[in-house]
Amino acid sequence: MIDTKNKMFFLIPFLLIILLGIAVYYNSLGAKFVWDDFALVRDNSCIKDLSGLAQLFKKNIWAGIGEGSCVYRPLQMVSFALDYSLWRLNVFGYHFTNILLHIFVALSLYWLISILFRDKALSLFATLLFVVHPIHSEAVTYISGRADPLAALFLLFAFIFYLKHLELKNSILLIISLVSFALSLFSRENALIFPAAILLYHFSFKVKMRLAGFLSILALTTAYLILRLAGLGSFLPPEHIETTLLERLPGFFVAITNYTRLLILPLNLHMEYGSGLFRFYDFKAILGFIIFVSLLIYAFKRRNADKLASFSIFWFFITLLPSSNIYPINAYMAEHWLYLPSIGFFLIVANSLNLLRKKGRLKASIAILACLLLAYSFLTIQQNNFWRNPVVFYGRTLKLSPNSVKIYNNLGLAYYESSKPIEAIACYEKALKIDPRHASSLNNLGVVYRHMGKRQEAIDLFKRALAINPDSAEAYYNLGAIYYGFGKKEEAAGFYKKAMQINPHYANACNDLGVIYKDLGDFDKAEVFLKRSLEINPDNIEAYNNLGIVYSLRGMQEEAASLFKEAIKIDPSNPIAYNNLGVVYNIKGDKAQAARLFKKALEIDPDYSDAKRNLR
C-alpha cells in the first residue's frame, strides 16, 4: 500500500505537467494554416513521400517549394513528413504533434532542473510556469514554429545525458548525449549554444570537466559546421541586410526591454516586430542596456552566494545569443526566440516561490503559483484563439504592427481565400502604399483582378512584379493562366515553362501545362506533366481529374476511374470528380451508376452545368 502511494506521489508532477499542457493548448487543435505553414507543409513537395526522408538531410528548408536558402532544419521536415503520412493536410494532426512536443520539452525540463538543483518543488514550479506561459504560443500553436520545441527537446536531452555521463562515468550516456545534440542541430541552428551551456554548467556548479567528453561535443559542433558550409554554402541563414553590428546592437537592447516586459506581463503578443533599426539613445535601448549590464554584474558577483540566479541569468543570455542580431537576421526580436531563454526567468520566479515555501509560507507560495498559472493559462488560451482564424490573426497583428507590409499582404491573402476580394484589394493597396516595390503584393493584387475579369490590369501588375523580381515563378504562372484564358495556349505554355524553370516543384504549373497538351491532343506529354504534378503534390485534385480525363480520352477507362475515385477519396465534396467518374461509367454502359454519380455532383453543386447536361 505504501509503495502504491509513493508511486502515485511520484507521478503527480508528471500528470500535472501533461494535463496543464493539454488544457492550455487544446483549443489550438483547430487552428488553420498561417504564414509559413503553406510553404513548409501544404505546398512542400519534399514532405509528401516517406521514401525520400533521407533526402531531406541534403536540402534546405525551402527546397520543397523550389526556393534556395541556407536554413537547414531537416529534422523539422522529417517531422512534417511523418505528420503528412498520418494526417495529410488535416491541421489537427500537426497541432497535436506540436502540443506533444511542448509537453515532452516540459517533462525533460522537469528532469533537468531536478538533476541540477536536487529540488522537486523548484522543478515543478518552474516547469508548470514554462508549460502555460503565453510567450510560447508562437512556438507551439504556430505549426511552423515547431523547430523551437523540437530543438529544445533534444538539447535538454543532450544536457541531461551529459550530466548523467559525468555522474556515472558511462560512455554510453555520452554517446546518447552526442546523438541528442546532433538531432537538436538538425532541428534548429540555435542548438549551437550547447557547448556554451556545458561551460556554463561547469562554471556555475564548479564541477570538474572531463576533457574527452567536452572535446567530443566540440568535434561534433565543428563537423556540423563544416558539413553545413559544404552542403549549403553558409553557417547561418544569410539575410540581405546591409547593416553593421554597431547599427544593429541597439535593437538587441530594445529586445531585452521588450522581452522583460513580455515575460512579466505577457500582453499584446504578436508575431511581427519587424527589422527596424534603433538608436543608442532610444529609451528602450538605454533601459535594455541597464537591464543587461545589471543582470550580468549580479550573476557574476553572486555566482557563489546565489548559484541558481547566476546560472539562470547566464542561461538566458547564452541561449538568446543566436538570435541577438550579432549576425544579421530578419528581425530584431521574436517571441518564439524566448522558448529556451525563458527557462532562466521561470527558474528565478520558481525559486522565489520555493524560498517562500521553505520559510513556512506554503499556502502563500501555492496561492501565488496558482494565480500565476491561472492568469498565464487564460492568456495562452486567448492567444490560441487568435490563431484559429487567419483573418482575425492577421487583423489583430496589424493593429499591433500597423506598418507591416508583410501583414497587409498576408491579410489580403486571407481575405481572398475567404472570398472577400474587395477587402483583399484594400489590403494589397495599403501594402503597396507603404512599399510600392513589394513584388508579392503586386502579384497577389493581380490574382484578384484576374479573377474579377480585369485581365489587362492583372497583366500589368504581373509584369510590374516581374520587373522587380524576375525570379517570381508565381507571376509567370499567373501570366500563363491569363493567356490560357485568352485562348493563347502556346504563349501560356511558355509562361508555365518559365515558372517551372524557376521552381521545378510548381505543381499547379505542371498541371496546367498538362492541360494545354491535353487540349492540343498531345496525350503523351500531357500524361508526363500531370504525373509530375501528382508526384510534387499528391493532394492535387485538379491533376487527378485532368489525368483521368486524359486516360478516358485514350480509352483507358479503368485507369481513369481509379484516378477519379482517388480524387473523391481526398476530397469527397469535389463535384467535378463525381461527374467525371459518372462519364466513365456512362462510357462503360453502367447508366444507373452514372446517373447516381451525376446526381451526387449536383447535390454538392446544384448549378453544375456539366452534370445537369450529362444527367439528361
According to the 3-state scheme, what is the secondary structure of 255-293? HHHHHHHHHHCCCCCCCCCCCCCCCCCCHHHHHHHHHHH
Confidence band (pLDDT; 50, 70, 90) for 530? very high
pLDDT for 305 beyond 80: yes
So what's the architecture of 540-616 in CATH? Alpha Horseshoe (1.25)
Find cell 452514372 and name the residue: 594
Going 240 to 242 to 248 to 254, the CA torsion angle's sign is: negative
- The torsion angle over the Cα atoms of residues 393, 399, 402 and 404, rounded to 10 degrees, is -10
Confidence band (pLDDT; 50, 70, 90) for 591? very high
Mean pLDDT of 357-361: 90
The proportion of the chain whose per-residue pLDDT surpasses 70, expressed as a percent, equals: 97
- pLDDT value of residue 228: 82
* Single-letter residue type at 356: L
> CA triplet 501, 502, 504: central angle to 5 degrees?
65
**Secondary structure of 328-397 in the HEC alphabet?**
CCCCCCCHHHHCCCHHHHHHHHHHHHHHHHHCCCHHHHHHHHHHHHHHHHHHHHHHHHHHCCHHHHHHHH
Confidence band (pLDDT; 50, 70, 90) for 370? very high
> CA triplet 4, 9, 10: central angle to 5 degrees?
95
List the single range of 68-72, 92-96, 227-231, 554-558 with lowest mean pLDDT.
227-231
- DSSP for residue 404: -
* Single-letter residue type at 506: Y
- pLDDT value of residue 288: 97
Confidence band (pLDDT; 50, 70, 90) for 4? low
- Closest residue by Cα to residue 134 from 310, 480, 382: 382
Between CA 141 and CA 168 the distance in angstroms is 38
Going 61 to 65 to 70 to 71, the CA torsion angle's sign is: negative
| Residue 497 parent element (H or E) | helix 489-502
Between CA 520 and CA 523 the distance in angstroms is 8
Domain range list for the chain: 2-387, 540-616
- pLDDT value of residue 274: 84
Between CA 599 and CA 513 the distance in angstroms is 31
- pLDDT value of residue 601: 93
Give pLDDT tens digits for 164-209: 999 999 999 999 999 999 999 999 999 999 999 999 999 999 999 9
Q: Is 453 helix (H, G, I), strand (E, B) or coil?
A: coil
Confidence band (pLDDT; 50, 70, 90) for 66? confident
List the single range of 228-232, 419-423, 515-519, 561-565 with lowest mean pLDDT.
228-232
Q: Are 109 and 128 in contact (CB under 8 A)?
A: no
pLDDT for 2 beyond 50: no
- pLDDT value of residue 5: 58
pLDDT for 9 beyond 80: no
Name the grid cell of 165. 555521463
Confidence band (pLDDT; 50, 70, 90) for 259? very high
Q: What share of the chain is helix, strand, coil (3-state, %, to 5)?
A: 75, 0, 25
Q: Is 556 helix (H, G, I), strand (E, B) or coil?
A: coil
Q: Mean of the per-residue pLDDT values for the chain?
A: 93
List the single range of 31-35, 67-71, 97-101 with lowest mean pLDDT.
67-71
Between CA 585 and CA 583 the distance in angstroms is 5
Confidence band (pLDDT; 50, 70, 90) for 233? low
Between CA 123 and CA 153 the distance in angstroms is 16
Q: Is the entire prediction scored with pTM above 0.85?
A: yes
- pLDDT value of residue 229: 79
- pLDDT value of residue 1: 44
- pLDDT value of residue 69: 79
Between CA 42 and CA 36 the distance in angstroms is 9
pLDDT for 268 beyond 90: yes
pLDDT for 271 beyond 80: yes
- pLDDT value of residue 58: 87
